[in-house]
């Protein structure tokens, strides 16, 4: 898909959202059911994923870890956003690799230490881009990808979460 085709697809959506801002508000859904043992079966829309405890908390390592899923969602969103930005700008991005890694001190999760946070202490993302890309284009691609990545912006800022 080239930039012109991509803009043609998005133009009516952008027009609609400008004239009717409420139509741009979409609620995404995730659903899961507690599984056997200590697990949760999550419906992804494509297939069922069974999540369980990370081995560092007593899991067997045969189920996916929700922390890994968070990093995978971040990588997926960054990759899709990067491609959309490159396409929109007409940048010749031939290949891109996105890698995310995060540090967790499981003492917090297991209640071993009140000083250890529950959750990621730090997340690092690395991009490896290949193509006929100038330094300026590379900087613009990364800046706009960072700006428009929904998952990245969500985990960076406080988002109200209600639990019932």
For helices 66-89 and 3-19, the axis angle rounded to 10 degrees is 110
pLDDT digits (tens, 9 = 90+) for 25-69: 988 888 888 887 778 888 887 788 899 999 999 998 899 999 999
Q: What pLDDT score does 146 carry?
A: 97
Can you read off the two tokens belonging to residue 1? Answer: 């898909």
Which tens digits make up the pLDDT trace of 105-135?
999 999 999 999 999 999 999 999 998 999 9
Which DSSP helix (H) or strand (E) runs through 136? helix 135-148
pLDDT at 41: 87
Give whole-number Cα distances, 52 to 57, 59, 60, 109, 153, in Å. 10, 7, 8, 14, 26
Q: Which is it for strands 39-43 and 31-34: parallel, antiparallel or unpaired? A: antiparallel
Query: Domains in the chain and their CATH numbers?
Result: 62-158 (3.30.300.20)
Residue-wise pLDDT for 61-105, tens only, equals: 899 999 999 999 999 999 999 999 999 999 999 889 999 999 999
């Amino acid at each position: 898909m080239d930039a012109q085709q991509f803009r043609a697809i998005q133009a009516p959506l952008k027009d609609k959202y400008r004239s009717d801002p409420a139509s741009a508000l979409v609620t995404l859904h995730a659903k899961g059911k507690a599984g056997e043992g200590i697990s949760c079966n999550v419906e992804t829309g494509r297939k069922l994923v069974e999540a369980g405890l990370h081995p560092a908390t007593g899991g067997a390592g045969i189920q996916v870890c929700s922390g890994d899923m968070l990093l995978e969602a971040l990588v997926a969103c960054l990759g899709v956003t990067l491609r959309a930005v490159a396409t929109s700008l007409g940048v010749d991005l031939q290949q891109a690799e996105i890698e995310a890694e995060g540090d967790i001190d499981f003492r917090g999760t297991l209640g071993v230490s009140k000083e250890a946070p529950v959750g990621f202490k730090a997340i690092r993302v690395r991009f490896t881009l290949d193509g006929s890309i100038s330094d300026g284009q590379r900087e613009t691609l990364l800046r706009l990808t960072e700006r428009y990545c929904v998952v990245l912006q969500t985990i960076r800022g406080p988002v109200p979460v209600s639990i019932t």
